[in-house]
Structure 1
Amino acid sequence: MNEELDERISVDPKICHGKPCIKGTRIPVQQILELLEGGEKIKGVLKIYPHITKPDILACIRYARKLVEAVA
């Protein structure tokens, strides 16, 4: 994965049972993706989680895409 993903997404077995999270938070990538899948806009996600940024959300999307590419 690229450096930006490494800077924004972390996987630590001590945090959220090792699920990928936005670095410096306990917000799993999965939670952000579920909000977006449910129709929430990026601005809405930022209102729900005001301490994260748009680049954090975009990193979650890219992280998911990279996982799909890895198994395809």
Structure 2
Amino acid sequence: MTYLSRITANHQVMLGKPVIKGTRITVELILRKLSEGATPADLVTMYPHLEEVDILAAIMYKPS
């Protein structure tokens, strides 16, 4: 799996911020929640559209 298969950036969605494909959940939000102490399981519970692979993709994401 590469993070590019899970993350997209489109200027019409969240002003072009990188998001998990098919959602409006930003990479920034995921990383902020993790830095605040949330676990991947917490995030999946808070955001049912997320999968653990989406969280891993957010961690691996590197802007071009």
Shift in Å, 1:58: 0.3
Q: Which structure: greater helix fraction?
A: 1
Identity, % of aligned pairs?
A: 41
Task: Map Cα deviations across residues 8-65 of structure 1 (whole Å, 9 max, x no partner).
Answer: 00000000000000011001100000000000011000000111100000000000xx
Structure 2 residues not aligned, in runs of 5+: none
Say whether 1:23 aligns with 2:15.
Answer: no
Runs of 4+ in 1 over 2 A off after TM superposition: none
Partner of 1:48: 46
Larger Rg: 1
Normalised by the length of structure 1, the TM-score is 0.82
When the two structures are superposed, what TM-score results if normalisation uses the length of structure 2?
Answer: 0.92
AA aligned to 1:38 is: E
Counterpart of 1:38 in structure 2 is 36
Q: Which stretches in structure 1 are left out of the alignment for 5+ residues?
A: none
**Which of the pair has the greater relative contact order for Cα pairs under 8 Å at 6+ separation?**
2
* Residue correspondences, number: 64
